Amino acid sequence: MLEQVSKLKERVIEQRSLPKTHVISVSSGKGGVGKTSFAVNFAIALSRLGKRILIIDADFGLANIDVMLGVSVVHDLSSVIGGERDIRDVISEGHHGVKFISGGSGVYELISLDEARVARLVSQMCRLEDIADIILLDTGAGLSDVVLRVVRSSDEAIVITTPEPTAIMDAYALIKTVNRFEDSPKLRLIVNLVTSNKEGNEMLNGFVRVVKKNMQLDLNKTGFILRDPSVALAVKSQVPLLVGYPDSPAAQNIQSIASKYLDVPIAGGRGQGLSHFLNRLFGRQTENAG
């Protein structure tokens, strides 16, 4: 039985015929920097530009993307892992056609799944290739094993920070840790809650310069987002910023980030689809199974 499961997983992981979904993790060194708000609004901005977007909420314990997207969640990824639900049964749809899956407790089960459940999850998640061009994984903050495993397995990782010294130090620690992994993802930096364009550019340039000097890493300066009272109003009204306050400065920043993002080709040969993401995510189990 285990041999059959291993062959099934190997066959699914090695498939090459489906369109290649791009997997992006959105992370931060610490909480409270606007990571989830960015993920939701970035998804909406990309959707407006013609991309099919699926968000997977991997921030177990602080999950609130469903509220921001205005969707009601009944089942999550754990019910797929347990075999009670098909992956398509747990997909909800929010503003501008952005699709959403709640990770629930299933995210933290990833590091301890047995062979049979790994095979089921791989088989199920590969079925998402034909419904999403981009999958955004909103991870938890910090350096937990789960966060690091998801981030290192992604095609790209967007790290969110703010000008606050502790946020900067924690973002630096996250980037340093991820960069130590072999075949680490392309890393991007976004600075949130800046008071001016000048501060935003200075923060981006300074952070990238230090990373280049100390890690020999070319960190991508993806953009900055202005401090904007509309963000708090959007959260209070439980509507995404780009929907409730599309002309606000922060909304315009995010829309600009999305437009520029799609103009830049993916570097380093990543972006090879969900099967490759899952292969990296479950690499240890795959090796053991072989």
Domain harbouring 34, CATH code:
3.40.50.300
| Portion of the chain with pLDDT greater than 70, in percent | 84
Per-residue pLDDT, 288: 36
Q: Which residues contact 135 (CB under 8 A, 6 or more apart)?
A: 21, 22, 23, 24, 53, 54, 55, 56, 128, 274
Instruction: List Cα–Cα distances, 200 to 51, 197, 245, 251, 284, in angstroms.
Output: 27, 5, 21, 15, 40
CA-based Rg of the chain, rounded to a whole angstrom?
18
Per-residue pLDDT, 264: 66
Per-residue pLDDT, 60: 58
Closest by CA to 78, choosing from 102, 100, 97, is 102
Per-residue pLDDT, 19: 52
- Given a cut of 90, whether residue 123 has pLDDT beyond it is no
- Given a cut of 50, whether residue 16 has pLDDT beyond it is no
Per-residue pLDDT, 270: 46
pTM of model > 0.95: no
Q: What is the residue-averaged pLDDT of the chain?
A: 85
Task: Give the separation between CA 191 and CA 222, rounded to whole angstroms.
Answer: 9
Number of domains the chain contains = 1
Name the residue range of residue 285's domain. 2-289
State the DSSP H helix or E strand holding residue 253, giving kind and residue range, or none if neither: helix 249-263
What residue has token string 């008071």?
Answer: 195
**pLDDT tens digit string along 239-266?**
999 999 999 999 999 999 999 999 865 5
Which residues share a beta bridge with 194? 226
**pLDDT tens digit string along 57-83?**
887 555 577 777 777 777 888 888 888
